[in-house]
Structure formats: structure tokens, C-alpha cells
């Protein structure tokens, strides 16, 4: 499946589910979709279009929302970044570990650093942050400045 | 098996089998592993947050210091990301120079790993030999770039130093020597009974698991999956320099060893070819200081596999978001799978089998050695290092 065919099939499938669709260059696609369609779109990408490799998941703080970007690869070559936004006051999203087992640590990382709860994930215990890290402090969110995080760490661990 | 209880065996954060701090909790019955739980983050220093505090030029240095082994891979991934956001093309000669340094880096990384693998199975003679010969590559890197570990060749818009015609014979004779030695070691690794006994059929990663668990690099290719960013999604000069993607179908530690060995021979070929066909011309183009609002997904094939950087700019001098995913993190789920059912004594070599780089994975920030040369730094001193 080449770029042209991938784009065409995506357009045909996504229709009203899509918010933004851009192709910045060869082998790169950015798709932003509505949160409600997330599972449906991921299942289509993984099972039908064979985007089986998850390169990673990026969290981005948009202010009132957290954006999640799932970087999926087809055949090692075409990298599709699937984006969706979830509100900060309800940061729940379905896990994709049932579709791509390799997502297990990437979801935990985003959970640690952005406070996104992946429903159905087998174990969301801390992965990167130290034991005793205060609840509700998600260091990669913009509301926590570097100074604040430093103060927190020096208070706790000297 | 009929064992009355499962015993928990902690590995790390400080453990003789690790070169860096990380923690794995093994549950064993008899001496067979029945469960493994990884706990990473012991070298986590918040480097992604640090990217947001620095301007794009300062971040070249930060990116290069994410990892002490694949420093050039990170710097290449970073600079090509920013170049794409700026919409600029680097000069052809710069693309070739990036490729040459990247392959020299792969040579030193893989030969370092072969030594460690030999050491983990008690074959210290080979460890000594490979590390001695690795010095040839380290010296070439130093001669070409001025640095053994951080090469500072990359800058946004190209490279900072040329590879002049008078140094090329030295590089080639170093490669001739290294190739001869590598072939000899490959021959030893394929036939030495003690090495084969410790690695053949050990740490099996089936192709379907390698794909499902999103493994990358030699770990993936040793399970027969032909994915390599250099070939699939070419960057630098990889679309112009011929090479083979090495795959093996043993799915075990032996295959992971031989895959790296064969890859070294391919790297030598790439460097020779790139030296012979390097176009003349400029080394870098001047670039604007401000990056327009954009986002970019950048990837390179680091020695350990697919390396991912994602950048988002907001029109200011500093990035809005910078994300790094090193190949070691991608290989941890696959590693945990391969550890199930193995003998306790095989844990070190299987762990070493993915060529783990924990500092890279946890994204440790460097320490300013000029400010303080001691290793026992306090938290404050560490933070001062971060502040600079």
C-alpha cells in the first residue's frame, strides 16, 4: 500500500470523523479526529490498513485539553500521527493495548507525565516518576513550571 | 512444576548485570522465570521539559547529550526535525557527512555491544579484543569530529566540519583493519561452542511477538522482520548509498549478536561508498532563528533501532513541545516477553541482548563537568547543570 492509496482509503473511511488531515511530505500523515471515533479509527488503522507498529504516543498540553498523538507506522515506512484531544477535567481514553500490545509502556508514560487515564490498561502504576511523587502533579503539563518542579523535588528528596 | 511458592528476585536498580540503574522484578519457580515487572525511570531527568526552556540552537547540544553512545543519532534526529519545520534542505555534502558519522557511531556501538555480550556469557577474552579494536573507530571519530563521544557535527542547516581529502586514507585504512577483525570475530561467534551453548535458542522472540510488541532495530531484525528506517524512510544520504538490511530468523540471542556483526560489515561498506561518492560543495546553509508554528515527526535508525523525535513549534524561539522516544524503551515489552520461561542464569545475556541504553531511555540530562568533576553530585548541583 503506497501513500496515494493510503490517503484515498483514509479519506473514504474517515469522512465526518476527521477534524484535520494533512500530508506535510512523503511518508508523513497527520490526522486529527473526534474523540468519539477513536476506537473505531484505531481498529481500522491497525486491522484493515495494517498500521501495526506503534512508534510512540506523544502527549501535548493545549491549555484546557491534552492532545494525544499516536504515531503509527505501516510497513516501517508510512508514519501516520493520529491525534485527538481530551479535556483536562476528564482525561479518560480507551487503552489500545488490546490492539497493539506494544502500547503498554507508552500509555504508562503519558499517564505519568500528563495524567491521562487509559481505561482498560492492565497496570498504570508509576513508570518513570519516583515513588512518593505527589498525586495530581503531572510534570509535562504547562501549569507546572520547571521552578515549581525543582522546589517540589528538593523539598521531598533534598 | 509443583513448586510450593514463587520466589521474587529483584534485579537492580544497582546490579552487577547492569551498566546503568534500572529495576526488574523477577518471579521465579525453581530457576525458571514466570513473571517479570520492569520499573524504569532511575535516570529520568525531565529532558523533554528542558527542551521547552531552551532555544533551538541550545537544544542541539541538549539533544546530543540525551545518550552517550548514540549522540549523533539524537542530534541528527533533532536537526532534521527543525530543518523540516523551517522548510530547508541541507547541502548534499552535509547529508553524506551525517551518514558517515552515523555509521561510524553504529560501528562503535555494535562493537561495544559484542564485547558486553561476550562478557555476559563469561567470554572475557573476546570482550577485551573487541574493545581494543573498537578504539580504532573511536580514534577515527575523534580525528574526524574532535570528540569521541559527543561529535558536535550536526547543526541546523547542515554540518559544522568538513571531512577533508587528506584524512580519507586514514579512515579507509582504519576500516580495513576493523573489517578484518570483525570478520574474524563473526567467525568465532558462529563456531565457538561455549558461546553457542549460551546464546543459541536462548531468549526467543517470535516474529509475531516482535511485531505486536513493537520491537525495533537489530532486536526486530533478528526475528526476521525486515524493517530499518534507513531503508524504509530514508534520511541523510541513505537513499543514495547502497546497503543491505540484515535480517536473521533465529529469533534468539545468537541471531541478535550475528545481526549486529553483519550490520557492522554493511556499515563499513556504507562509509566507504559515501567517502568515494561524497559530493563537493557547501557544508551548511544559513537558517532563520525563529521557527514558524509547525509540527514534525522525525525518525532515524539509531544503533539500537528506530529513534523518534516529535517537535511542535509555536513561533517563538523555543519549542512548544519536544518528545523523544529512544529505541530501548520500544524494546522493553519485547524483552519482558523473551524473559518468560528462561533460566535465572540466562537473564543477564538476554537483558543485554536488546543492547539496553537506560540513560537514553530515561532521558538523563548531562552534568556540567567543568562546574563539578565529581560524580557524587547533590540534587542542587544537578539542577544547576540543568539550568545552564
Assess whether pLDDT exceeds 90 at residue B40.
Answer: no
d(CA A78, CA A133) in angstroms, rounded, equals 38
Quick one: cell of B332? 522493553
pLDDT at B3: 62
Among B62, B43, B78, which Cα is nearest to B308's?
B78
Instruction: Determine the Cα angle at B329 with ends B326 and B332, to 5°.
Output: 150
How confident is the model at residue B362, as a pLDDT?
A: 65
How many degrees, rounded to 5, is the angle at CA A58 between CA A56 and CA A62?
170
Taking CB atoms and an 8 Å limit, are A76 and B228 in contact across chains?
Answer: yes
Sign of CA dihedral A73, A74, A79, A81: negative
Give, for all 158 residues of chain A, the pLDDT tens digit: 789 999 999 999 998 999 999 999 999 999 999 999 999 999 999 999 999 999 999 999 999 999 999 999 998 889 999 999 999 999 999 999 999 999 999 999 999 999 999 999 999 988 888 888 898 899 999 999 989 998 988 888 87
Instruction: Quote the CA–CA distance of A132 and A141 in Å, as a whole number.
Output: 19
pLDDT class of B386 with cuts at 50, 70, 90: very low
Quote the pLDDT of residue B365: 33
Q: Which residues of chain B are within 8 Å of residue A148 when distances are taken between CB atoms?
A: none
pLDDT digits (tens, 9 = 90+) for B329-368: 999 999 999 999 999 888 888 888 888 877 667 643 333 3
- Beta-strand (E) ranges in chain B? 7-11, 23-29, 32-39, 154-155, 158-159, 294-302, 305-313, 319-325
Residues B114-140 have a mean pLDDT of 94
> Do B308 and B324 meet the contact criterion of CB atoms below 8 Å apart?
yes
Q: Over 80: is that where the pLDDT of B247 sits? A: yes
Look at the block and give the residue holding cell 514534525: B296
Range of lowest pLDDT (A153-157, B258-262, B321-325): A153-157
Asked if pLDDT for residue B19 goes beyond 80, the answer is no
Chain B residue nearest residue A23, CA to CA: B296
Is residue B69 within 8 A of residue B109, CB to CB? The reply is yes
Least confident of A132-141, B226-235, B292-301: A132-141
- Most B CBs within 10 Å, among A57, A73, A144, A149, to test the B interface: A73
> Which residues in A lie closer than 8 A to residue B50 (C-beta atoms)?
146
Mean residue pLDDT across chain B: 89
- The three cell numbers of residue B77 are 534526529
Among residues B69, B178, B192, the alpha carbon closest in space to that of B122 is found at: B192
The predicted structure's pLDDT at residue B360: 65
Q: Which of B215, B333, B378 sits opposite A104 (nearest CB)?
A: B333
Three-class DSSP category at B250: coil
Beta strand B154-155 with B32-39: parallel, antiparallel or unpaired? unpaired
pLDDT of amino acid B4: 65
The rounded distance, in Å, linking the Cα atoms of B229 and A143 is 36
Q: From CA B206, how far away is CA B224, in angstroms rounded?
A: 9
What is the structure's pLDDT at B388?
33
pLDDT-derived band at B2 (thresholds 50, 70, 90) equals low
Handedness of CA B237, B242, B248, B254 (dihedral sign): negative
Closest residue to A150, CB basis, from B48, B211, B383: B383
The yes-or-no verdict on residue B374 having pLDDT over 80 is: no
Please give the Cα distance from B141 to B200 (Å, whole number).
34
Predicted local distance difference test score (pLDDT) of residue B370: 39
pLDDT band of B180, cuts 50, 70, 90: very high
- pLDDT of B175 > 60? The answer is yes
Contact call for B333 and A150, based on CB within 8 A: no
Over residues B161-179, mean pLDDT: 96
Q: Cα torsion for B85, A106, A66, A22, to the nearest 10°?
A: 40
Q: Do A102 and B310 touch (CB under 8 A)?
A: no
Closest partner CB to B332 (pick from A105, A157, A158):
A105
Domains of chain B: 47-330 (1.10.645.10)
> Which DSSP string do the residues of B12-24 spell out, in sequence order?
-SS-TT-SS--EE
Work out the percent of chain B whose per-residue pLDDT is above 70. Answer: 91
Determine how β-strand A78-87 pairs with β-strand A28-33. Answer: parallel
Beta bridge partners of A84: A68
Residues 339-368 of B with CB under 8 A from A: 362
Q: Are B145 and B151 within 8 A, CB to CB?
A: yes
Those of residues 28-87 in A touching chain B at CB distance below 8 A are 28, 30, 52-56, 58, 60-61, 69, 71, 75-77, 79, 81
Q: Among A2-11, A148-157, B216-225, B229-238, which is the least confidently predicted range?
A: A148-157
What's the angle, vertex CA B278, arms to CA B276 and CA B281, rounded to 5?
145
Q: Compare A101 and B289 and report the one with higher pLDDT.
A: A101
Q: What is the DSSP letter of B224?
A: T
Residue B375: pLDDT over 50: no
CA distance B54 to chain A (A): 12
> Do B133 and B186 contact (CB within 8 A), yes or no?
no
Amino acid at each position: 500500500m503506497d501513500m496515494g492509496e493510503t490517503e484515498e482509503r483514509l479519506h473514504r473511511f474517515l469522512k465526518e470523523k476527521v477534524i484535520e488531515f494533512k500530508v506535510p511530505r512523503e511518508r508523513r500523515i497527520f490526522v486529527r479526529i473526534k474523540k468519539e471515533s477513536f476506537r473505531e479509527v484505531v481498529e481500522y488503522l491497525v486491522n484493515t490498513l495494517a498500521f501495526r507498529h506503534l512508534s510512540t504516543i506523544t502527549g501535548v498540553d493545549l491549555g484546557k485539553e491534552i492532545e494525544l498523538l499516536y504515531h503509527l507506522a505501516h510497513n516501517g515506512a508510512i508514519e501516520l500521527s493520529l491525534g485527538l484531544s481530551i479535556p483536562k477535567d476528564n482525561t479518560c481514553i480507551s487503552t489500545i493495548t488490546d490492539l497493539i500490545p506494544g502500547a503498554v509502556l507508552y500509555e504508562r508514560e503519558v499517564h505519568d507525565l500528563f495524567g491521562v487515564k487509559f481505561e482498560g490498561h492492565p497496570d498504570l502504576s508509576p513508570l518513570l516518576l519516583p515513588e512518593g511523587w505527589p498525586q495530581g502533579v503531572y510534570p509535562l503539563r504547562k501549569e507546572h513550571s520547571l521552578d515549581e518542579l525543582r522546589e517540589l523535588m528538593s523539598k521531598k528528596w533534598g | 512444576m509443583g513448586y510450593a511458592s514463587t520466589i521474587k528476585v529483584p534485579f537492580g536498580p544497582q546490579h552487577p548485570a547492569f551498566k546503568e540503574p534500572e529495576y526488574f522484578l523477577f518471579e521465579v519457580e525453581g530457576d525458571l522465570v514466570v513473571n517479570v515487572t520492569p520499573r524504569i525511570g532511575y535516570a529520568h531527568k525531565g529532558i523533554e521539559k528542558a527542551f521547552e526552556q531552551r532555544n533551538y540552537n541550545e537544544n542541539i547540544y541538549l539533544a546530543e547529550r540525551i545518550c552517550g553512545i548514540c549522540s549523533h543519532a539524537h542530534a541528527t534526529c533533532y536537526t532534521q526535525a527543525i530543518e523540516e519545520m523551517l522548510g530547508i534542505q541541507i547541502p548534499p555534502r552535509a547529508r553524506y557527512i551525517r551518514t558517515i558519522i552515523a555509521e561510524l557511531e553504529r560501528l562503535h556501538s555494535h562493537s561495544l555491544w559484542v564485547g558486553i555480550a561476550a562478557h555476559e556469557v563469561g567470554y572475557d577474552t573476546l570482550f577485551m579484543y573487541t574493545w581494543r579494536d573498537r578504539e580504532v573507530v573511536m580514534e577515527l571519530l575523534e580525528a574526524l569530529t574532535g570528540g569521541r563521544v559527543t561529535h558536535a557535527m550536526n547543526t541546523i542547516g547542515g554540518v559544522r566540519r568538513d571531512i577533508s581529502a587528506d584524512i580519507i586514507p586514514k579512515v579507509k585504512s582504519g576500516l580495513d583493519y576493523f573489517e578484518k577483525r570483525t570478520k574474524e570475530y563473526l567467525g568465532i561467534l558462529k563456531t565457538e561452542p561455549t558461546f553457542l551453548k549460551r546464546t543459541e535458542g536462548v531468549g526467543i522472540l517470535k516474529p509475531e511477538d516482535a511485531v505486536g510488541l513493537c520491537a525495533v532495530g537489530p532486536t526486530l531484525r533478528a526475528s526476521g522482520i525486515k524493517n530499518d528506517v534507513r531503508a524504509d524512510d530514508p534520511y541523510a544520504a541513505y537513499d543514495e548509498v547502497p546497503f543491505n538490511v540484515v535480517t536473521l530468523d533465529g529469533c534468539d540471542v545468537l541471531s541478535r549478536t550475528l545481526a549486529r556483526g553483519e550490520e557492522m560489515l554493511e556499515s563499513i561498506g556504507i562509509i566507504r561508498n559515501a567517502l568515494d561518492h561524497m559530493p563537493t560543495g557547501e557544508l551548511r546553509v544559513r537558517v532563520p532563528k525563529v521557527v514558524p508554528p509547525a509540527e514534525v515527526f522525525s525518525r532515524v535508525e539509531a544503533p539500537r533501532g528506530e529513534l523518534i523525535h516529535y517537535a511542535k513549534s509555536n513561533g517563538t524561539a523555543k519549542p512548544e513541545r519536544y518528545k523523544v522516544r529512544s529505541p530501548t524503551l520500544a524494546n522493553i515489552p519485547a524483552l519482558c516477553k523473551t524473559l518468560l520461561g528462561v533460566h535465572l542464569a540466562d537473564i543477564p545475556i538476554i537483558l543485554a541482548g536488546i543492547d539496553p541504553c537506560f540513560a537514553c531511555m530515561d532521558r538523563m540530562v548531562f552534568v556540567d563537568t567543568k562546574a563539578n568533576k565529581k560524580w557524587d553530585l547533590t540534587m542542587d548541583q544537578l539542577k544547576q547543570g540543568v539550568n545552564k
